[in-house]
Structure 1
Amino acid sequence: MPGMVLFGRRWAIASDDLVFPGFFELFLRVLWWLGILTLYAVHRDKLDCAGGRLGSYLIVLLLLLAVVICTVSAIVCVSMRGTICNPGPRKAMPKLLYVRLALFLPETVWASVGAVWVANDMQCDRTVMNGILATVVVSWIIIVSAAVTILVVFDPLGGKAPHPSAGPSHLDAQDRGQLLSGLQTAATSVWETRVKLLCCCVGSDVHARAAFSSSAELFSTYFSDTDLVPSDIAAGLALLHQQQDVGATQEPDEVASHCPGPSQEADLDAELENCQHFMQFAAAAYGWPLFVYRNPFTGLCRVGGDCCRSQAPEYDLVGGDQLHCHLGSILHTTGLQYRDFIHVSFHDKVYELPFLVALDHRKEAVVVAVRGTMSLQDILTDLSAESEPLDLACEVQDCSAHKGIAQAARYIHRRLISDGILSQAFSVAPEYRLVLVGHSLGAGAAALLALMLRDTHPELRCYAFSPPRGLLSKSLHEYSKSFVVSLVLGKDVIPRLSMPNLEDLKRRILRVIAHCNKPKYQILLHGCWYELFGGSPDNFPTELDGGEQEGLTQPLLGEQSLLTHWSPTYNCGDSPLESPKYPPLYPPGRIIHLEEDGAPGRLCDCSAARYRATWSHEARFSKILISPKMLTDHMPDVLLRALDSVVAARVPAQGGPGLASV
């Protein structure tokens, strides 16, 4: 539901968000009240040491706690009423919160009095003084926690529109546009301040400032037309996951329009083996953090010897690896020797990614591996999601791509060509083929780098592991199919992440919330249980059927309360994200999808998952799927294990993974 309005401004919390915090405070308050009552009853005869003031202190504290307990109980009861889109039964909540906030004043005064008495070290029974000290400490902990909570739920834009859901309907179109433009500018400024605070250690060069602005505009644009609090989004995601599972059981799995022939199966086997081999390079680009994460008990010991290596390196080293720990983990991951590396860069800035260049003698390839997201600088590169044109030496119309990743690819291209890194590599092995690999952000950069180098290296290949969906224009997506192979695991969210998909997810969240007739706390409780242990999906009204949903252009009544500037002319295609700045973008190349066999596992399910590999169409990734594994399926170590198991199952005669020519 829309955020609550208190003291004339909106706050980033809804009136049905106080059930769980209220129960937690009730639990602490009741225990505290019982403890003080026990202290007073057992040591009543020892409370006269300070002229009877300690006894009076405890009595007043008991009465104050009783009033607080009653108030919090009323807040919890009221917060449990109604639904997300029906706040009517909770209309008394602001008054109750005013009472609760007013009670903090006597609590603070009484906690200060107790602190003074404890500081004066009155000559009283030690047990009594310890009890008073405990009450003072607990009082201040609760007061400080309340102050922190107020800061967290404070909305800097809350004073701009006290009743945003009502919308400026009394204004004409021009005035309404000016008002919304002013609100958008203010929101962008607030988000830019937030991003700068979170990334304060990144620096403030030209690239960083541009990334701050791009990220702030993305966030402010995405949230500009809705009035949701974080718990609404969590409840919507829980409902969408259950609805998604209900739809999966009611509808047959998608099948290909034709059965794959022997040549396609052989091609799939060969590409899977290549993916298994080159994924080691993509993982190695992450350096020692991923290696230690994959080998928690032996990783540090295995790279320890390399960290103490003092001899001069046999490769170009750029960036922070003075102790050679990164290089040690890279050697263990790839199985290469020091002499096989041409260039290793750990230089990490906004739009400038770490990468390595090595000679892979087993595959007769010059491998360029680009690191994926592992720093705040990388996140800012990811969030620069506008589209910008690419200057490519190919006859393809509409050459555009993700701005941040395109900038990163240009940086690596400039280093490879201008610094003579590729020339040096091919002077050592002129007969080798160029192969570009990467995972996540690195996969996107590797794919764009392949497009840039395609003209001078027509035989190159690119393996993009878990690449972002919002990367290439449609024409470049088709063009890249001849030399780029993408690998996606399960329900990984990143290969489904694009501006249109995010907008679709927002609309689905609004719709499923508007249709649900259960209180938010019940949705969240059942959702947590369902994610952890499975069970039957909740019985709630589903979204509109596919045909009805596609034809719906106006928001439903329940959705109108969640829109910040709804008007009778509002249309579902009016989203700020649906603009030329954020056109539909697609993943690179042909796509191999590793799908989990059988029912999807839960977070508490420790059994090993089984996967099957199929060639897949990009349309299969045109919607974000909600799953407990939507994030873990993106992890490189999880992808490596799944890839190993698939290759081992498909090539049993060779006793494990084999090698195929690139």
Structure 2
Amino acid sequence: GGAGSGAEGGLVADLARWRSLAAAVGATAAKLGEAFLAATDRFPLTLNLACLARATPDAPSGRAEGPAAPRELVARARHLMRFADAAYGSVLMSALGTYQGSLPPAGVVARGVEATERWCVASHLGIDEADVKESHLVGGSLDLPSYYVAVDHSSRSVVLAVRGTSTLEDVLVDLVADSKPLGGVGLPWPLPPRLPFDPDEPHGHVGMAAHADRLDTAVTPLLKRLRAEHAGYKLVLTGHSMGAGVASLLALRMATRLEPADEALVFACPPVAARVPWLTRRLANVHAIVVADDVVPHLSLASVEGLLRRLAVIDSCEVGGTTRLSIAAGLEPPTEGMVRAATAADAPQHLPLEVPATRLVHLRRAGESDDASGEERARLVNVERFTARLDLAPSCAVDHLQPSYQRALDA
């Protein structure tokens, strides 16, 4: 009876969370519904997107202007990308061709799925299994993101790696794209949360902020203990995609209470925060890596709203379907009206979120040869300018995948 009651209680709690999350997703979609209908009033979305892309051929990589990124930062990113990738687990890594470990022996498999995943993480990273201090990689949850904590003696680091989107629960967290006030993030203690002349309150992505809050509670005691046990070791947070967003928000929380990580080096981080005090961002020390035309670092409610407004103008242009097909195929140049729509400044009604990084490194796609001008493969770019606007490119989804990041870093 007691076990049954516990199971029923867990089911009721899960259903309540699903209902709450579904309501938030529905409310988010409703905010963009009218804009979506305007963007597809006369012609299909696919055709309008293709015409818009032809009118903005250099975006978003065309905005990747800046000095060469420090080589040591790129080298650290190359090393830590394997840690971020390992958070996805052996099955997904094997499917994507990024797993660099061995097959687990029968004795390890007999210990259960979580123990097997922990062994595979260690094998993939080339560290002792005993140095994977905690793992939560099996069984997705709306309450807590999947993660693991490992000690990396080669870089003298304690590493917390957070998994990106890989389950239905993760997708729902991603879709809750509206923002809310960020509890636990503000000016570093003992300063007041906000100064009298700065009334703006920090905001963050609803779904990922909730994940960062719960992860903070779950993992902070272990991180404090490992920092004390490994004097001189750095504390590093990492993750890819949703994992990058959660790790960045956790870094902001830790900086606010003056317990900052030494670095948060994240990959394909979505826009997750706004109005974060400059001092807190500096203490959080978030460094973000973006490959080529990856769409996720540009993806927020405000940027999607801006994209839909541009598409609505494209849709309303006095151009027939046959001509649009020719433009989409590259057989004719885009009209002046399409170019004006593509280059118009966004004026979103929703609060624009940002990637809360002090430095953002843009990497060219692996296989793109260096040209005669000596263009650098890795550049430091302006975070706000590069990520605020959403422009789609044909490779924007493929560029987001872990193998694209690993290949670009290894090139």
- Please tell me the TM-score bracket, short chain as reference: 0.7 to 0.9
2:291 corresponds, among 465, 489, 500, to 489
- Deviation of residue 384 (structure 1)? 1.5
Residues 596-615 of structure 1 mapped to structure 2, 5 A cutoff: 596=364, 608-610=367-369, 612-615=377-380
Q: Describe how 1:118-129 pairs up with structure 2 within 5 A.
A: none
Moved more, 442-451 or 267-276: 267-276
Q: Does 1:353 align with 2:119?
A: no
Change (3 A) 1:270 1:637: same
Q: Does 1:416 align with 2:219?
A: yes
The equivalent position to 1:241 in structure 2, one of 23, 44, 53, is 53
Q: How does 1:196-207 map to 2 (within 5 A)?
A: 204-207=14-17
Q: Report the Cα distance in structure 1 between the residues aligned to 2:292 and 2:163, rounded to whole angstroms.
A: 22
Partner of 1:505: 307
Question: 2: CA distance between counterparts of 1:223 and 1:370?
Answer: 32
Show the counterpart of 1:269. 71
- Alpha carbons of 1:229 and 1:334: their partners in 2 closer, same or farther (altered >3 Å)? farther
Partner of 2:4: none
Partner of 2:128: 337
**Separation in structure 2 between the aligned mates of residue 274 and residue 305 of structure 1, nearest angstrom:** 28
Once the two structures are TM-superposed, the CA of residue 426 in structure 1 deviates from its matched residue by 3.0
CA contact (8 A) 2:355 2:387 kept: no
> What is the rounded CA distance, in whole Å, between the counterparts of 1:635 and 1:289 in structure 2?
15
Query: Which consecutive unaligned segments of at least 5 residues does structure 1 have?
Result: 1-200, 313-320, 551-571, 598-606, 646-662
Distance in structure 2 (CA, Å) of the matches to 1:547 and 1:344: 45
The answer for unaligned runs of 5 or more in structure 2 is 1-10, 195-200, 370-375
SS of equivalent to 1:304: coil
Q: Distance in 1 between matches of 2:23 and 2:42?
A: 23
For 1:644 and 1:587, the matched residues in 2 are separated by: 24
From the superposition, tell whether residues 547 and 461 of structure 1 become closer, same or farther in structure 2 (CA, over 3 Å): closer
- Equivalent residue for 1:383? 175
- 1:331: Cα distance to partner? 2.2
**1:629 aligned residue (370, 391, 395):** 395
Question: Is the CA contact (8 Å cut-off) linking 1:211 and 1:383 kept in structure 2?
Answer: no
**In 1: Cα distance, 2:275 partner to 2:401 partner:** 27
Distance 1:463 1:413 in 2: 17
Tell me, yes or no, if the aligned pair for 2:63 and 2:386 is still in contact at 8 Å.
no
Letter in 2 for 1:622: A
Larger RCO, structure (CA 8 Å, separation 6 or more)? 2
Flag the structure with larger Rg.
Answer: 1
Shifted more, 423-432 versus 344-353: the winner is 423-432
- What is the CA-CA distance between 1:526 and the residue it aligns to? 6.4
Deviation at 1:544, TM superposition (A): 5.9
Cα 1:238/1:546, change in 2 over 3 Å: closer
Aligned pair in 2 of structure 1 residues 340, 479: CA closer, same or farther (>3 Å)? same
Q: How far apart are residue 608 of structure 1 and its match?
A: 2.3
Alpha-carbon distance, 1:524 to partner: 5.0
Q: Give 3-state SS (helix, strand or coil) of 2:104's partner.
A: helix
How many residue pairs align between the two structures? 376
Deviates more, 1:323-332 or 1:428-437: 323-332
Gap change, CA 1:438 and 1:432, over 3 Å in 2 = same
- Quote the Cα distance in structure 2 between the aligned partners of 1:494 and 1:353: 18
Higher helix share: 1
Instruction: Give the Cα–Cα distance (whole angstroms) in 2 for the partners of residues 524 and 474 of structure 1.
Output: 42
Partner of 1:466: 268
CA deviation string 1:599-658 (max 9, x = no partner): xxxxxxxx923471111112122221221111111101111110111xxxxxxxxxxxxx
Specify whether residues 345 and 459 from structure 1 end up closer, same or farther in structure 2 by C-alpha distance, changes over 3 A only: closer
Inter-CA distance 362–457: structure 2 relative to 1 (3 Å threshold): farther
Q: Cα deviation per residue 1:241-289 (whole Å; 9 max; x = unaligned)?
A: 11112x77xxx97755xxx5xxxx5x72121111111111100000013
Q: Is the 8 A contact 1:450 1:460 kept in 2?
A: no
In the alignment, which residue of structure 1 is the partner of 2:8?
none
Does the C-alpha gap of structure 1 residues 547 and 283 become closer, same or farther in structure 2, counting only changes over 3 Å?
Answer: closer
Answering whether residue 406 of structure 2 is matched by residue 640 of structure 1, we say yes
Q: Determine which of 33, 40, 45 is the counterpart of 1:223.
A: 33
Distance 1:548 1:273 in 2: 35
TM-score (norm 1): 0.52
The amino acid across from 1:415 in the alignment is: A
Q: Deviation at 1:422?
A: 2.0
Cα 1:536–1:428 change in 2 (3 A) is farther
Change (3 A) 1:547 1:303: closer
Q: Distance in 2 between matches of 1:438 and 1:642?
A: 17
TM-score by length of 2: 0.81
* Paired position in structure 2 for 1:392: 185
Q: Name the % identity.
A: 23
